[in-house]
Structure 1
Amino acid sequence: MNNRLVELAFTDRVATLTLNRPQSYNALNQEMLKEMVEALEEVKKSSADFLVLKGSGKAFSAGGDIKMMTMPETGELFPQILETIGAMVLTLYTMPQLTIAAIHGSAAGLGLSLALACDYVIAEEQAKVAMNFIGIGLIPDGGGHYFLKERLGAHQAKHLIWKGEVLSGAEAQRIGVVDEATADLEQALQQKLSEWARKPVLAMKETKQLYMQQTAAELQHILKMETKGQAKMRDTKDHREGIQAFLEKRLPTFAGR
């Protein structure tokens, strides 16, 4: 599979899925989300043992496409978009392959949720990592609540979401948001793949499935809750102000309404 927005390549035991919208920092619009689901389903059915998720250009992913959020028709399509996001994340989280996200440049919002759905996350030391939905008056989606709770615990996850601050890859590794921070992303990625390739991968996959079967239902529940919560937040004055401030490149003035 090779197309304009998502590129998928197979080499030996490794599938590499590349977000390919570099002019928009791989911001995820509706078409790209659909292609992601299709590509992940293809990997899921393949004989590959490992999946690498990366971005082309200067960033891993800037998150959801802000321009898509401002389109008049988005309101009607919003439930469908959130459903596609849920399908993408759940497919990635439950697939039998061992998965690695390789973050360079930045991973923000939905882009970070997508990375955290992987089994292992490597980031450049100077990468910018942020769960920054709060800046536009929204809550995390794509399972962001679930993945941060799993990594940090509910209390720390809550405060990270509320702050919405940008962390370096090194800072994200220090507090446990990502698994590894490195000065050489490609070298670290290849080292991890080589390490896994030398192991009894069937045993690793069995452990993954054991944990996944215990937790997938919780992720599905949180995805549904995020969909309801996000719908409520989209109707707030704070969200409209956050979007307008982003487009005007200024700080938002929130009123709690």
Structure 2
Amino acid sequence: MTINFVTEKVNLRVNGRVATIEINRPETLNAMDTDVLKGLVCKLKEISETDEIDIVVLTGKGKAFSSGGDIKTMLSNRDERNFFPVMDCISELIMTLYSLPKLTISAVSGAAAGLGFSMALATDYIIADKTSKLAMNFVGIGLIPDGGAHFFLEKRLGETRAKQVIWDGKMLSADEAFELGLIQEVAEGDLQQALEARINDWLSRPTQAMIKTKKIMAEKNRPQLLKVLELEKYGQQKMRETIDHHEGIRAFIEKRKPIFIGK
């Protein structure tokens, strides 16, 4: 079975037992605005109800996986009444993706930054092109990670190293991310070939047993992830009010290094 479903900002392709969801905003390096968030949730929920699909691949069109949340949307929408609904969209996306009763893979080329990296961490397996860059870089604009990143980073790295990655906010090469334990594989050659090899390997296994293990762990961890998403939502609201955040945004627009004062 091959199905192609294309919307303005999110594409869905189904080929046999594999679905590929592609963020389709290459002109913004696949930055995620509300339409993208809702489109991703919609496609994931459709897939969750399809018994024929066992594997879901997340990717981005063009030169990047996802550069994260859409900064322009953030700047044009300073009305705090609209902030919580956006954060709720992010939480719904992450919970839907993490709990999806399918095996999930993030195929990363180019940048996976901020919320884009958080989303990748919510999948079961991250395979990255050797030239890709990954960053939990919220701190550069005076914010904290969201999209459940505190949960996922602690699970993968432990508390001490997770805090260091968050506080450093550095852009990591694929090899550096692999060495830290943030991703599972670096494609030595063509990313698509490496992805197909991983998919074919999984398809040769008892995928329903693999999915059952995933569901047990997701159900066990669900309360903690929900709590982290809630803490991130209210924590991010506080950070948006800080002088440092406003300075970080100005510096980003002006393409200069920010001068933070700790307030």
- TM-score, normalising length from structure 2? 0.96
Per-residue deviation at 1:72? Answer: 3.7
- SS of 1:26's partner is coil
Tell me whether 1:256 sits opposite 2:246 in the alignment.
no
Spell out the pairing of 1:1-257 with structure 2 (5 A cutoff).
1-47=5-51, 48-183=53-188, 184-257=190-263
Per-residue deviation at 1:2? Answer: 1.6
Following the alignment from structure 2 to structure 1, what is the Cα–Cα distance between the partners of residues 6 and 27? Answer: 18
Following the alignment from structure 2 to structure 1, what is the Cα–Cα distance between the partners of residues 107 and 136? Answer: 17
Following the alignment from structure 1 to structure 2, what is the Cα–Cα distance between the partners of residues 16 and 31? Answer: 18
Contact kept? 1:68, 1:74, Cα under 8 Å: no
- Change beyond 3 A, Cα 1:15–1:154: same
Superposed CA RMSD in Å reads 0.9
- TM-score, normalising length from structure 1? 0.98
Q: C-alpha offsets along residues 4-28 of structure 1, whole Å, 9 cap, x if unaligned?
A: 1000111100010000000000000
Aligned amino acid, residue 175 of structure 1: L
In structure 1, stretches of 5+ residues that fail to align are none
Per-residue deviation at 1:75? Answer: 2.6
Following the alignment from structure 1 to structure 2, what is the Cα–Cα distance between the partners of residues 107 and 228? Answer: 24
Following the alignment from structure 2 to structure 1, what is the Cα–Cα distance between the partners of residues 235 and 247? Answer: 18
Per-residue deviation at 1:154? Answer: 0.8
Larger CA deviation: 223-232 vs 205-214: 205-214
Following the alignment from structure 1 to structure 2, what is the Cα–Cα distance between the partners of residues 23 and 152? Answer: 33
Following the alignment from structure 2 to structure 1, what is the Cα–Cα distance between the partners of residues 40 and 101? Answer: 17
Q: C-alpha offsets along residues 143-178 of structure 1, whole Å, 9 cap, x if unaligned?
A: 011111110001100010000000001110011011
Per-residue deviation at 1:73? Answer: 4.7
Query: Identity of paired residues, percent?
Result: 46
Larger CA deviation: 30-39 vs 14-23: 30-39
Number of equivalences: 257
Larger CA deviation: 184-193 vs 90-99: 184-193
